[in-house]
Chain A
Amino acid sequence: MIKIENLHASINGKEILKGLNLTVNAGEVHAIMGPNGAGKSTLASVLAGREDYEITAGSVTFFDKDLLELSTEDRAREGLFLAFQYPVEIPGVSNVNFLRTAINEKRAYHGQEPISAKDFMAMVREKSALVELDSKLSTRSVNEGFSGGEKKRNEIFQMAMLEPKLSVLDETDSGLDIDALRIVSHGVNALKTAENASIVITHYQRLLDYIVPDVVHVLYDGRIVKSGPKELALELEERGYDWIKESL
């Protein structure tokens, strides 16, 4: 589904990703773990197309498309979804209005008719129930005055509405209490199919108790330095990252 090869990216002249390789296939969940400053959030931002980063080398192929050539919105319309670590508050823009616009722009991109108001509202009801998001929140301004947990649930709600092929969850567990973590994870697991895939970026192993990965990668100093089965996450939890640094 996505193939990242030798990806180098820098910001303000400082190189953060230094030759990253990663392949994710349909039906798979990949976890990316690593210490602070390893480049985890940079990877998420670069995939979503944030323009602050400069790609200096490498390629990203999403299905048969050169992802790096696509605008941020076209990546989204092709089926890439980024759940933000810090979802943005947008006063005055209603959650459902903006989602309806997003869905219809995606449909137009694929040559489809706009979604009917009835189908849309039915979808809002179904998907907000999935993440136990109060239906009042779905009509309020995007993330405005939401608690940390509500913001993350809103991210997963949007993910459910947009039905992406590849979801990148950037530190979705940060700032969540155990109940919110359970709800968010339940949402992610329920949305999993044989046709879609997820990249779960996290600092802690805790999230992986709920979202079970097929592969765990360790990102360190801009490269993936170790990959293994889900047990690798437990080992990292127990031993920290130092033994990986030492083994390099």
Chain B
Amino acid sequence: METNTLNKLSLFVEDLHEASLAPQPLIDAAKEYLLGQDLPTTKSERFKYTRLAKLANANFTDPSKTSNSVEKPLAPIEDAYLLIINHEEVILPQDLPKGVDICLIQDSPVAWHEAAFKDVFGALNTLHAQMGLSICIRRNTVLDKPLQIVHAHNGGKQFFRHHLQFEQNSEAQIYFVSQSMEGSVSFAHTHFQFDIAKDARIKIFKIQDTSSGHFHFTEDRAKQAEGSHFQINTLTLDGSFVRNDSQVQIQGEHAQTYLNGAYWLKDDQHLANYTTIDHQVPNCESFETYKGVAADKAVGVFNGKVFVRKDAQKTNAYQSNANVLLSEDASINSKPELEIYADDVKCSHGSTTGQLDENALFYLRARGLSESAAKNLLLQAFMEDVLTYIPNEDLLKFIHHRIGQRFNWVY
């Protein structure tokens, strides 16, 4: 194949410099993967509903010319260990408890062990990530309050890489909050590596509250050992362009996995959630619930894969994606995929996309509720079960506040 050195991908990476923090074999693998590649088009299955023209043509804000948003980030959770990060600096909390080690990814030799690229952005991350955290929760450590990591995006094209290691029997809740400066144009691709050891109980929350003009890509790669409980909750509150790709490999028996997503889309927002749960061993359970509403011309994509390998007998895997469309121009593309190679398993999946129940709407209006109040109640009720996974009152309040603001809902 002829390589056009001026293709869109080359132009996109032109002004990026190689950080080269990764080990050499990984750098080589990434370079090999990128050979002859271009920015994906809608012809590729993974980008079928995602147009990257806007990204290719974007005029990114120079981050050195914007005010430093690290100084005043919005941290929704009051009682938490607060970390603040942007492309060039990290502010760590003074009061980190025993059993928690945090350093920069630059200083962590164990943080790189993923070379299975799913798209060009994953490979680019390996070459260009220059900032990130390596967090270790030590054996038997139970965090008394959550870690809250506020990520402020203020321009440019940035790749981040976080490595989180949860040792045996540890317990933690970690909240990643992504924000971007209103009016700036920026791109961020963040790779998360989660290593969850035996019997660890871990809840991850990704609170995506970026502005229009920010292109937000995230990649989760998790490996779970025996008896561990692991949860990723992806909450997309705002942002004109968001793509999430979560992958969990269940490698030890009696592990439990929860992948949840909630999204509220309007205007011309684009959100794509790709998930993969890979049951490699017997006697594990996974539960996946993605729910959202789409108004105006918003586009949502859900692609959920569940693999149950030949040895993974007695697997219990449940997946559902439910959507409510609030306008004729909004669309949701939902594709559940199950690949089951074991014969003694319980798996179910379901996908629904529809309007609000007309009978319920009429019932509420017949009691005197205005149409908007009735819709408001029904939509809140619709989203309720996926929000029950949020154990933190502050976060729940923050979500209600933001969604109330954006959709004129009264909570």
Interface residues of A (CB under 8 A from B): 48-50, 71-73, 75-77, 82, 84, 87-88, 90-93, 97-99, 101-103, 105-106, 109, 141-142, 158, 162
Q: Contact partner of A92 among B362, B363, B381, CB < 8 A?
A: B381
- State in angstroms the CA–CA spacing of A119 and B378 once bound together: 26
- Report if B377 contacts A (CB, 8 A): yes
Q: Which residue of A lies closest to B410 (CB)?
A: A101
> Which B residues between 230 and 266 are near A, CB-CB below 8 angstroms?
none
Looking at the assembled complex, report how far the CB atom of B292 sits from the nearest CB atom of chain A, in whole angstroms.
15
Question: Is the CB–CB distance between B364 and A98 below 8 Å?
Answer: yes
> A185 to B37, alpha carbons, bound, how many Å?
75
Which residues in B have their C-beta under 8 angstroms from that of A101? 369, 373, 377
Q: Which residues of A contact B362 (CB under 8 A)?
A: 48, 50, 72, 88
Contact assessment for B370 and A73 in the assembled complex, using a CB-CB cutoff below 8 Å: yes
Task: Let me know if A90 and B366 touch, CB within 8 A.
Answer: no
Query: Which chain B positions have C-beta within 8 A of A142?
Result: 363
Alpha-carbon distance between A73 and B375 when the two chains are bound, in angstroms: 13
B357, B369, B378: the one contacting A102 at CB < 8 Å is: B369
Interface string of B338-370 (1 = CB under 8 A from A): 000000000000000000010110111111111
Q: Which residues of A contact B359 (CB under 8 A)?
A: 88
Q: Across the two chains, which residue of chain B brings its CB closest to A87?
A: B363
Chain B residues near A162: list those with CB within 8 A. 367-368
Is B382 part of the contact surface with A, judged by Cβ < 8 Å? yes
B382 and A92 contact, CB distance less than 8 A: yes
Q: Is the CB of B378 within 8 A of A90?
A: yes
Closest residue on chain A to residue B383 by CB atoms? A92
How many Å lie between the Cα of A174 and that of B148 in the bound state? 56
Q: A92-B382, A93-B380 are in contact. List 12 more A-B contacts (CB 8 A).
A: A49-B366, A50-B362, A73-B365, A73-B368, A76-B366, A87-B363, A91-B381, A92-B384, A92-B385, A93-B377, A99-B367, A102-B368
Contact in complex: A71, B365 (CB < 8 Å): yes
Q: Which 6 A-B pairs have the closest CB atoms?
A: A92-B381, A76-B368, A88-B363, A72-B365, A102-B367, A102-B368
Closest to B385 in A: A92
Q: Does B371 reach chain A (CB closer than 8 Å)?
A: yes
User: Chain A: interface secondary structure?
Assistant: helix
- Select from chain B the residue with minimum beta-carbon distance to A77: B368
Contacts of B382 in A (CB 8 A): 92
Q: How far is the CA of A48 from the CA of B367 in the complex (A)?
A: 10
For chain B, residues 271 to 288, give those with C-beta under 8 angstroms from any C-beta of chain A.
Answer: none
Q: A92-B380, A101-B377 are in contact. Are A84 and B367 (CB under 8 A)?
A: no
Q: Which of A71, A72, A162 has the most CB of B within 10 A?
A: A72
> In whole angstroms, how far apart are the Cα atoms of A160 and B368 in the complex?
14
Chain B residues with Cβ below 8 Å from A102 are 364, 367-369
Q: Count B-side interface residues using an 8 Å CB cutoff.
A: 21
- Interface SS of chain B: helix, strand, loop or mixed? helix
Can you report 21 A-B residue pairs in the complex whose CB atoms are below 8 A from each other? Answer: A48-B366, A72-B362, A72-B366, A73-B366, A73-B370, A73-B371, A82-B366, A84-B363, A87-B363, A88-B362, A88-B363, A90-B381, A91-B381, A92-B384, A101-B373, A102-B364, A102-B369, A105-B373, A141-B381, A158-B367, A162-B368
Contacts of B366 in A (CB 8 A): 48-49, 72-73, 75-76, 82, 84
The smallest beta-carbon distance between A209 and chain B, in angstroms, is 28
- Taking the nearest CB of chain B, how far is it from the CB of A101, in angstroms? 6
C-alpha spacing A84/B364, complex, angstroms: 12
Task: List residues of chain B with CB within 8 A of the CB of A103.
Answer: 368
Chain A residue numbers with a CB within 8 Å of B380 are: 92-93
CA distance A241 to B82 in the complex (A): 77
Name which residue of chain A comes closest to B364, CB basis. A98
> What residue of chain B has the Cβ atom nearest to residue A99's Cβ?
B367
Q: Are A98 and B367 in contact (CB under 8 A)?
A: yes
Question: Which residues on A sit within 8 Å (CB–CB) of B384?
Answer: 92
Cβ contact of B360, chosen from A48, A72, A88, A97, cutoff 8 A: A88
Taking the nearest CB of chain A, how far is it from the CB of B389, in angstroms?
15
Q: Is the CB of A93 within 8 A of B381?
A: yes
**B368 contacts A106, C-beta separation under 8 Å:** yes
Q: Complex Cα distance A93/B377, Å?
A: 7
- Assembled-state Cα–Cα distance A146/B360 (Å): 16
* Cα(A192)–Cα(B366), bound, Å: 21
Q: Which one, A50, A71, A82, A93, contacts B378 given CB within 8 A?
A: A93
User: How far, in angstroms, from A48 to B359 measured CA to CA in the complex?
Assistant: 13
Q: Are A90 and B364 in contact (CB under 8 A)?
A: yes
A73 touches B378 (CB 8 A): no
Which of A101, A109, A158, A162 gathers most chain B CB within 10 Å? A101
Contact digits for B369-410, partner A, Cβ 8 Å, 1 yes 0 no: 111010001101110110000000000000000000000000
Among B362, B371, B384, the one with the most A-chain Cβ atoms within 10 Å of its Cβ is B362
